[in-house]
Amino acid sequence: MREVYIVESARTPGCRRNKGAFAQTRPEDLLVTAINGLMERSGVKKEAVEDIMIGCAFPEAEQGLNVGRIVAQMCKFPDDTCGATVNRFCSSGLEAIAISSLRIAAGWCDVAIGGGLEAMSIVPMGGNLPRPHPEWSKENPDVYMSMGITAENVANRYKISREEQDDFGYHSQMKASNALKNKLYTEIVPTPAAKYKEKDGIWVRENVMQDFDDGIRPETTMEGLKKLKPAFASMGSVTAGNSSQTTDGAAATLVMSEDAVKKYGVKPFAKFKYYAVAGCRADEMGVGPRYAIPKVLKIAGMDIKDILKDGLIELNEAFASQALYCAKELGISDRKLWASDSDDRVININGGAIALGHPLGCTGAKLAATLLHNMKRLNKKYGLESMCIGGGMGAAAIFELIK
């Protein structure tokens, strides 16, 4: 197997569903900005790219058909640059990077892009026309279960208290607020946000540049979080303040073989090393990383201590309950590893989806961009990315910095 080199990784801001900057922006336009920004930063000509794999959790409506190929054309890649779309729900963006990387490792390709997008303002959670199988739904409806209810199941079964969840959510907001203030989101490409206004009876589009995640709430307090009502169960503990935000966004990563790196004279800064997926009970889908992370570490011949010693972790915050449970099971739940007031934190160091949003099919690619840039900035050898996946799965990947 050949080494897979990462030349660049970039993302758009993540903006709140319906209320955020991208509520009127088409998803293809978000992805075009992310990929064009990626290519501009890399210095690589578009003619070099052979294939573009894009993750999307609900590939329909404006982000439907084969958006990977459509966007390749919109970005003005040549006709021989191919494109495809992949769906593994919340890990779709990471799956896309993994598939592109695996093709390079196998010698089937030399230059590719893996990315993801989701416009949740346009396509709602669950899609526009969900059609669960009627007989199967009677036998086992769990695979269709609301993600919020699965988060409540995790909290109840594994005794993750409301106070713990709110505390985790608070620190996510504080870490993100600090990163925003200190301009640490270097992976973000400024992105045009469409605004439509009526002028003389005609709707006219105006673009406003958006260069920050607009769901971050610096004013968050523990007192305020305690006042929020449960979002999914009347007597539950999962609230809007300890759950991920639904957002719009896109992200992409450029990967190459060693031959291509030499041919195009670029300087990669990391490698894509390992990837694994693991299944779990659908009605507690949030526990997925608890199984996927040990699996990918075993494949790599590594221990979680190797990551803690010289690495960073992006553990997607779909819900505080599931992130905390997974951290506890993996032996990485010590507050010093994730709290905003800790100089030793390695988990979601610039905040997670509770503050920054979880744009479903984009998230895997979005976290990769954030993780890779933080590895580079802090000179950390390893990067571990993981997330739970709707339907009862987890995914995990390991990146390695080229020092």
Helix (H, G, I), strand (E, B) or coil at 296: helix
- Rounded mean pLDDT, 163-192: 98
- How many whole angstroms separate alpha carbon 270 and alpha carbon 237? 40
Cβ atoms of residues 292 and 397 within 8 Å: no
Helix (H, G, I), strand (E, B) or coil at 260: helix
- How many whole angstroms separate alpha carbon 247 and alpha carbon 212? 13
- How many whole angstroms separate alpha carbon 221 and alpha carbon 231? 18
Answer whether residue 199 shows pLDDT above 90.
Answer: no
Cβ atoms of residues 15 and 30 within 8 Å: no
- pLDDT tens figures, 328-360: 999 999 999 999 999 999 999 999 999 999 999
Residue 185 has what pLDDT? Answer: 98
Answer whether residue 200 shows pLDDT above 90.
Answer: no
Residue 124 has what pLDDT? Answer: 87
| Euclidean distance between the first and the last CA atom of the chain, given in angstroms as a whole number | 21
Residue 258 has what pLDDT? Answer: 98
Q: Annotated active-site positions, please?
A: 90, 358, 388
- How many whole angstroms separate alpha carbon 396 and alpha carbon 235? 33
Which residues on neighbouring strands pair with residue 54, listed in sequence order? Answer: 85, 115
Q: What percent of the chain has pLDDT over 90?
A: 95
State how far the alpha carbon of 375 is from the alpha carbons of 174, 194, 305, 316, 336, in Å: 20, 33, 17, 17, 19
Q: Does pTM top 0.85 for this prediction? A: yes
Residue 299 has what pLDDT? Answer: 98
Q: Name, in order, each residue with C-beta under 8 angstroms of 138's C-beta and a sequence gap of 6 or more.
A: none
For the chain, give the number of residues.
Answer: 403
Across the chain, what does the average pLDDT equal? 97
Q: What is the chain's percent helix, strand, coil content, to nearest 5?
A: 40, 25, 35
DSSP state of 338: T
Residue 28 has what pLDDT? Answer: 98
Answer whether residue 326 shows pLDDT above 90.
Answer: yes
Q: What are the structural domains of the chain?
A: 5-124+182-189+243-397 (3.40.47.10)
pLDDT band at 263 (very low <50, low <70, confident <90, very high): very high
Q: Retrieve residue 57's tokens.
A: 């959790």
Q: Give, in degrees to the nearest 5, the angle at Cα 328 between 325 and 333.
A: 115
Answer whether residue 125 shows pLDDT above 90.
Answer: no
Residue 201 has what pLDDT? Answer: 86
